[in-house]
């Protein structure tokens, strides 16, 4: 094994997208509770150094690009246990495996897993009083998703059953 160089100082914000033996492309997320897209970065691997950084730009002056992603929690993380307790008390559901969570100004969005004759991935949108506004079964199977939904300019976007793109306008 060969050490290619020192990792970038912001490595915790980087999510690998693609690459080859010479370079890698990462999405850099903002540092926040609900991180949005900060930049797309391309690194050379020998030596490790930033080659290019592209920042999102406004689509037009009236409609800025507003991309937000959920926070992902694995079952092995301590904070996940708090969500398990919350779901049991609030919705009488025993969640497991993992959870994607977004906290907005007036909505909470969860993507989580329940076992019911097989694993099922549900998407739930609640107001701040925890009243369910949307509840959808979005996938079935043993695999766990990561960032199973996205918010773009106040639209909730997700893939259902691995083939249907679903977009909710301003919930």
pLDDT at position 118 = 93
Q: Which residues contact 162 (CB under 8 A, 6 or more apart)?
A: 139
Q: Any idea which residue has 């919705």 for tokens? A: 91
pLDDT at position 102 = 94
5: pLDDT strictly greater than 70: no
pLDDT at position 2 = 59
* Per-chain mean pLDDT for the chain: 84
Q: How far is CA 52 from CA 7, 28, 31, in A?
A: 16, 12, 20
The larger pLDDT score, comparing residue 46 to residue 158, is at 158
Question: How far, in Å, CA of 51 to CA of 40, rounded?
Answer: 11
Count of residues in the chain: 171
The larger pLDDT score, comparing residue 137 to residue 20, is at 137
Highest mean pLDDT among 14-18, 24-28, 64-68, 84-88: 84-88
pLDDT at position 87 = 96
Question: How far, in Å, CA of 132 to CA of 155, rounded?
Answer: 17
pLDDT 10s digits, 126-140:
999 999 999 999 999
pLDDT band (50, 70, 90) for residue 90: very high
- Comparing CA positions, the residue from 33, 30, 27 lying closest to residue 14 is 27
Beta bridge partners of 72: 100
106: pLDDT strictly greater than 80: yes
Domain residue spans of the chain:
11-54, 67-169
pTM of this prediction? 0.64
Strands 132-140 and 149-152: unpaired
pLDDT at position 22 = 84
Mean pLDDT of 27-56: 78
């Amino acid at each position: 094994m060969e050490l290619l160089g020192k990792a970038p100082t912001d490595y915790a914000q980087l999510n690998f997208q693609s690459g080859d033996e010479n370079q890698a492309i990462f999405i850099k997320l903002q540092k926040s509770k609900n991180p949005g897209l900060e930049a797309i970065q391309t690194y050379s691997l020998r030596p490790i150094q930033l080659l290019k950084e592209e920042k999102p730009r406004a689509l037009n002056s009236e409609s800025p690009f507003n991309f937000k992603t959920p926070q992902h929690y694995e079952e092995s993380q301590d904070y996940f246990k708090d969500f398990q307790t919350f779901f049991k008390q609030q919705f009488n559901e025993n969640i497991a495996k993992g959870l994607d969570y977004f906290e907005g100004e007036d909505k909470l969005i969860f993507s989580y897993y329940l076992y019911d004759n097989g694993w099922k991935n549900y998407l739930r949108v609640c107001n701040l009083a925890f009243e369910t506004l949307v509840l959808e079964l979005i996938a079935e199977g043993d695999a766990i998703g990561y960032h199973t939904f996205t918010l773009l300019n106040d639209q909730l976007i997700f893939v259902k059953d691995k083939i249907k793109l679903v977009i909710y306008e301003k919930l």
